């Protein structure tokens, strides 16, 4: 069973269908990027997953259980939402102490997570004096308080400066490396491309693409391979005889739907010298626009 399962999720606000029949999984040990243009339904989906919004139909569960059915929710799921807000008059440490008390976590966890996000020095300052980056670090600390197996983050890099974005990227990878399932929504495509293993793309509330990053970047034909050879005609014939489509561009052959490994093996069987072999991928931006039909 996947760490997170979204099944036929549908959410309507009045006449607006925010999410339509959305289904996807998030696996443990992987960072899953949840992409879509503004108003695509990303935040609504995450809020439905976290029990903050009631789905019109469908389910959004953690290991088969709704968030509000979890025994100790903050010990199983940590969340950072886009509008993560804190009482301005409360210190960062006290904010975490309140959450630790509510989640029945030992108070010692407060210092541990403050240390993990590098917020020790500012922990006793009131949150109203925090920068955006410090607030995001505090939100991450709150999410990690219960040492959960799943992290759900909604646009966590919004408002962060480059060092902050780099830090967040490191945190995401680190958490996945420790076995956690990480679901992160973002519209910062370049940022996501460097951080995620899997991608789910939605637009207008509907699923437009999902799979590993390589699969999504490969386009509708899946992966594509560029190959240069001393004898391109012989190699092209060999590839075509095995049912592959070949596009010629001078000495370079483009083979949609084939991985470099497949092309390399065919070249070896035919004893054709290969001078260059590389996967050809769309940029995530191109894939995103192609899948969401958005133009700039």
Q: What is the CA radius of gyration of the chain?
A: 23
Torsion on CA atoms 103, 109, 115, 121, rounded to nearest 10: 80
Single residue of 103, 211, 257, 279 touching other proteins by CB under 8 A: 103
Does 170 bind other proteins (CB under 8 A)? Our answer is no
Closest CA to 40 of 6, 16, 14, 8: 16
Min CB(90)–other proteins separation in Å: 5
Single residue of 62, 86, 167, 288 touching other proteins by CB under 8 A: 86
Does 90 bind other proteins (CB under 8 A)? Our answer is yes
Helix (H) or strand (E) holding 186: strand 181-186
Does 132 bind other proteins (CB under 8 A)? Our answer is no
Closest CA to 33 of 42, 23, 21: 42
Min CB(193)–other proteins separation in Å: 29
- Interface region with other proteins, contact rule CB under 8 A, candidates 40-48, 193-201, 220-228, 237-245: 40-48
- Interface region with other proteins, contact rule CB under 8 A, candidates 95-103, 216-224, 235-243, 277-285: 95-103
Single residue of 88, 129, 179, 276 touching other proteins by CB under 8 A: 88
Does 62 bind other proteins (CB under 8 A)? Our answer is no
Tell me, what DSSP letter sits at residue 128? G
Does 106 bind other proteins (CB under 8 A)? Our answer is no
Does 150 bind other proteins (CB under 8 A)? Our answer is no
End-to-end CA distance of the chain: 39
Instruction: Provide the H-helix boundaries in the chain.
Output: 42-49, 73-76, 92-103, 108-116, 132-144, 162-177, 189-195, 213-217, 232-241, 260-269, 284-292
Does 142 bind other proteins (CB under 8 A)? Our answer is yes
Min CB(94)–other proteins separation in Å: 4
Helix (H) or strand (E) holding 79: strand 77-80
Whether the CB-CB separation of 105 and 148 falls below 8 Å is answered with no
- Please report, as ranges, the residues that interact with other proteins according to CB under 8 A: 13, 43-44, 47, 50-54, 67-68, 70, 73-74, 79, 81, 83-91, 94, 97-99, 101-104, 142
């Amino acid at each position: 069973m996947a760490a997170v399962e979204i099944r036929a999720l549908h959410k309507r606000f009045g006449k607006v269908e925010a999410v339509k029949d959305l289904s996807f999984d998030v696996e443990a040990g992987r960072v899953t990027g949840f992409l879509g243009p503004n108003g695509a339904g990303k935040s609504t989906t995450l809020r439905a997953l976290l029990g903050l919004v009631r789905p019109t139909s469908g389910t959004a569960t953690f290991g088969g259980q709704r968030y509000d059915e979890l025994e100790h929710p903050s010990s199983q799921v940590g969340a950072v939402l886009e509008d993560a807000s804190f009482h301005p008059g409360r210190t960062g440490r006290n904010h975490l102490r309140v959450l630790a008390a509510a989640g029945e976590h030992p108070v010692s966890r407060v210092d541990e997570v403050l240390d993990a996000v590098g917020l020790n020095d500012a922990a006793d300052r009131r949150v109203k004096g925090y920068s955006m980056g410090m607030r995001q670090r505090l939100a991450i600390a709150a999410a990690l308080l219960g040492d959960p197996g799943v992290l759900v983050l909604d646009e966590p890099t919004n408002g962060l400066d480059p060092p902050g974005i780099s830090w967040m990227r490191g945190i995401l990878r680190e958490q996945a490396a420790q076995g956690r399932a990480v679901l992160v929504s973002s519209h910062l495509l370049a940022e996501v491309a460097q951080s995620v293993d899997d991608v789910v793309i939605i637009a207008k509330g509907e699923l437009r693409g999902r799979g590993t990053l390589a699969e999504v970047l490969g386009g509708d034909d899946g992966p594509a391979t560029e190959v240069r050879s001393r004898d391109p005609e012989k190699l092209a014939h060999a590839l075509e005889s095995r049912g592959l489509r070949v596009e010629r561009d001078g000495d370079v052959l483009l083979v949609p739907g084939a991985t470099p490994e497949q092309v390399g093996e065919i070249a070896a069987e035919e004893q054709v010298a290969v001078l260059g072999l590389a996967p050809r991928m769309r940029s995530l931006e191109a894939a995103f626009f192609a899948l969401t039909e958005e133009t700039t």
